[in-house]
Amino acid sequence: MGRELYIDISSENSGGSLYRITEETGIVSFLYEHSTYDDQRDEVKAFKTVYPDFAAFWKKLTTDPEWYYQHPLFVHPEQRDFIRRQLDRVNWSVHPDRKWQESHQRQWKKVLTDPGNYYQG
């Protein structure tokens, strides 16, 4: 079984790594190892969620209407063009602080232009 880092992303209260899993039979799925942090309880919970394809993971990620304000650390080169197009459609101004907007835009730009093997988890 092959396991390849596909996306690594976090926010203040959650984060995780998405891996593309290729079975010996050639079947591909995606495993999201992620966690949440409850600051009221000072509690971390860890999860593993399997997605049949990247589209299913993306649909779940973007249920957060401000998903683009999460902090990406790595995006697999195969999805970079897709994510660039998604970012072209977001409303950065939902957060009124221009410096906050720009810092997140810079981080997305960085991970979408890094060498493909830059961060291998």
Contact 120, 20 (CB under 8 A): no
pLDDT at 13: 85
Give the integer Cα–Cα distance in Å for 28 and 107: 29
> In one letter, which amino acid is 67?
W
Average pLDDT, the chain: 91
Mean pLDDT for 26-48 is 93
pTM of the entire predicted model: 0.89
- Map out the domains of the chain as residue ranges: 2-113
Tens-digit pLDDT profile for residues 77-114 = 999 999 999 999 999 998 888 998 899 999 999 999 98
Instruction: Give the count of beta carbons closer than 10 Å to the beta carbon of residue 7.
Output: 23
Strand partners, 47: 34
- Say whether 52 sits in a helix, a strand or coil: coil
pLDDT at 119: 55
